[in-house]
Structure 1
């Protein structure tokens, strides 16, 4: 069987490893969206369009995993079998481009993987062939969840190929009735990486585990006495060991204190989050101690507080 495998990222590569030596595959082509430099100085990236016309009549089956582009009907119609897609959610829940991130940010306890047919005109609207649940661990990160679900998806894909579940004429072929309500997992916007210090510390940590380095703002005084807000990027965010005291409770959210082991403890709604690396707008990354010791130089005589704007 000749297969065209469409993928673009770590998740698709990890899934691919489970079928690359599958005995049912005689020929396997990996098709990805290759960017190319464009514009003045070749600094911007412009996506190279795929010519599906040239891919017609060459394959028996198409598999799309985290490809991010609709596989058109003009290509799918030339395949011997319906196309397959591995999607890291319990479809139709979290249809869309960011199912892993939405499951983590929403503090879901269960997610999963769905193997579906490729729909010729819409994302994540194909018939469901296989679906398996997966527990989300405490302090799960985007990387750890992606690794787990990619491996599970690869196992499901391999099982599908071994048992002919992709072949609508096979006695093993069946489709499953959706068991979960529809929801859309929208793409992450840059503004979602801003910290709201009125949130519980667990959410701030979950936000970091999902999205990576987050940002906030620190008031700074200019020479003319006016106030500006400098952007601060915070990295290595974990739960603080600092116990919220009675005096801490009255501190404004966003107040920061240099803690033990060169950590910056920051007041959230219910407790403290601890930060290991700080990067101020226009300045490189610093340790908490270096950041605190140079506050007056960078920000003038201002309060030790981060704010949302």
Structure 2
């Protein structure tokens, strides 16, 4: 049987799932955040999901919220069997969750109950996790608390960045949605497993202020943070009077006994900085207004005093 699907999502992460959901012509409406000012000119910009929906010829709805009867009536008019939500950016009231015949499914970029919330990908890397994945969850009113229908796991590599894991989980999200939809079309009831009460963590939204490197922390922790915050907001520090953004770094076991933040070495291998435990070797950096370059290239133009 075919399904009538309403899709709700906003950022680039949700686009592969939208394409997967729309592959059989079952998406009857796409909900996304209103156009917002962006860029230097502060021109109104469509979300990536809206752009993809228009390319696919799908009708787009952009309510501020679902508090009005008008917004709820419009949603009900689609007579949806299912609503699929992927990084929509809006908490849905119970009236919305109850509208589709099969309720609302959410594709979430973590292995729940670990990393509920807004920034599961970056929080996982910053915390040194070695595995991540995606969950297809039956939505309920709580924040990412619903029972899990399906999940797919993937390792987090030692060189994984927030950007690379985002892209892989985005594709995995589309895959887990395809699997769920295939089962639903076959008339099968997906087995919903309640999330365990142990192991709950919250992935709060990333603030730009978190990008500053705190040299009193362990080198391993800082290296994980550099990976997690690439490509946004990008880790940063000040070395000998100049602000640097750090795109790539590795932790070293070397304990120099020098105060945290001291430059220990600067050469073709990188810039080694003392940490609370070990040392962080900066490998790729960016000066204000400059391009991303290797630490060796940076040092050719601006040698550091040791």
Matched residue, 1:92: 113
Q: Find the partner of 1:256 among 263, 274, 280.
A: 263
2:88 is matched with 67
CA distance in 2, matches of 1:176, 1:288: 52
Question: Shift of the alpha carbon at 1:171?
Answer: 4.8
Preserved contact between residue 272 and residue 281 of structure 2 (Cα < 8 Å):
yes
Decide whether the 8 Å contact of 1:233 with 1:279 is kept in 2: yes
Inter-CA distance 277–137: structure 2 relative to 1 (3 Å threshold): closer
Partner of residue 14, structure 2? 12
* SS of corresponding position for 1:188: coil
Partner of 1:277: 285
Conservation of the 8 A alpha-carbon contact between 2:180 and 2:190: no
The whole-number CA distance in structure 2 between the counterparts of 1:265 and 1:291 is 17
The answer to whether the aligner puts 1:195 opposite 2:213 as a matched pair is: yes
Alignment TM-score, normalising by the size of structure 2: 0.75
- Correspondence 1:238 to 2:249: yes
Deviation sequence 1:200-259 (CA, Å, 0-9, x none): 333222211111322224576xxxxxxxxx7x232332238x995xxx814322122663
Task: Report the TM-score when normalising by structure 1.
Answer: 0.74
**RMSD of the alignment, in Å?**
3.3
For structure 2, the residue ranges without an aligned partner over 5 or more in a row are: 46-61
Aligned partner (choices 147, 160, 163) of residue 180 of structure 2: 160
Query: What is the alpha-carbon distance in structure 1 between the residues aligned to residue 300 and residue 286 of structure 2?
Result: 9
How far did residue 5 of structure 1 move?
1.1
Q: In 2, distance between residues paired with 1:63 and 1:253?
A: 48
1:32 match: 32
What is the CA–CA distance in structure 1 between the aligned matches of 2:31 and 2:142, rounded to whole Å? 20
Structure 1 distance, partners of 2:23, 2:96, is 25
Query: Residues 177 and 123 from structure 1, CA distance in 2 versus in 1: closer, same or farther, beyond 3 angstroms?
Result: closer
Pair 1:9–1:19, CA change in 2 (3 A): same
State the number of aligned residues. 271
Residue number in structure 2 paired with 1:224: none
* 1:173 Cα deviation from its structure 2 partner: 3.2
Report what 1:183 is aligned to.
201
Is residue 265–residue 275 contact of structure 1 (8 Å, CA) maintained in 2?
no
